[in-house]
A = this chain, B = another copy of it.
Amino acid sequence: MNSPETKTPAPVILTGDRPTGPLHLGHFVGSLRNRVAYQNEYRQFIMLADAQALTDNMDDTGKVHRNVVEVALDYLAVGIDPSQSTIFIQSQVPELAELTFYYLNLVTVARLERNPTVKTEIALRNFERDIPAGFLTYPVSQASDISAFKATLVPVGEDQIPMIEQCNEIVRRFNRLVNKDILVECKALVPEIGRLPGIDGKAKMSKSLGNTINLGDSEDQIRAAVKQVYTDPLHLKVSDPGHVEGNVAFLYLDAFDTDKAALEEMKAHYTRGGLGDSIVKKRLDLVLQEMLAPIRARREEFAQDKGQVLQMLKEGTMKAREVAAGTVDEVRRALGLSYF
């Protein structure tokens, strides 16, 4: 006697950031913008992954602490609304560590060593044999983060898909073990717009590469950054035909200029020659200044009362704990770890 109106539960999103530095245009394009849209449709949890950030910042824990509020300010500035999205601090939800503890029994060392994302990150950090155990096991920690909230959608880049697969393996293994569907599998939500390159043309905008434009940057900082934006190294004279592909100025305009018609015209002009980089950059500067000015203004406003930001984080964290504690309780009971 199934009711035809049986509802499937609303999708739950888990997303977040490692609070190790200010968020930049790359974050904005790749995720922040989407979160502002998602929060209307989905139940969205946004995690400030301070505990995870420690895995490779144990030597600078102060940086992680400071950036928790800074990143929260970035969230508020771009329009993430704490009444629609639950923003929380990972370390303040100890239930996540507890799940990690149990999940560690559900995955082999060999399996973790085969994880392509972990492999890449290990190479990137020159860990070689001195991999901290917390680094090898961080897919397990991610599985805890995701499954604690029974998230069904996890926005990630293409390169993070193995983490999602690892999570689902743990979820299936757990459910099979306790013979009950307690945990929920999730899907990767890969954004349509790929990664934004750095202003220097490198594939990735990254604080450590010093090639970012940050959401909180001042007018002058933006202007200076735009001047440095990598264009077409073969476009020496204004009259020369220029290349649009790989030209960061145009890649940024593609991402942010809303006047698509004018942009296409500009591209055509640049390609046939006669359009100087300075004109393109002037347009880019205008577009970025217009887009970032209200974000910066909101950021500054929120920054005036950091106590209120902390209060918001506290409330979000309490809400998140409640959900995670519910899952931990189910997990513990299923494992027979319930006594009183």
Contacts and interface: CB of A to CB of B under 8 A. Distances in A.
Contacts of A178: 61
Interface string A123-140: 000000111111111001
A301 to B, nearest CB: 21
A313 interface: yes
A250 B315 CA distance: 66
A104 interface: yes
Interface SS of chain A: helix
A313 B339 CA distance: 9
Which of A61, A91, A178 has the largest number of chain B CB atoms within 10 A?
A: A91
Interface stretch (A92-100, A156-164, A274-282): A92-100
How many chain copies?
Answer: 2
A107 interface: yes
A129 B101 contact: no
Contact of A95 (B62, B94, B133): B94
A73 to B, nearest CB: 14
A101 B102 contact: no
Nearest to A338: B65
A84 interface: no
A134 B105 contact: yes
Contacts of A107: 132-133
Interface of A: 50-51, 54-55, 58-59, 61-62, 64-65, 68, 89, 91-92, 94-95, 97-98, 100-102, 104-110, 112, 129-137, 140-141, 177-178, 310, 313-314, 317, 328, 332, 334-340
Query: Sorted from nearest, which 5 A-B pairs have the closest CB atoms?
Result: A65-B336, A104-B134, A97-B101, A105-B134, A61-B336
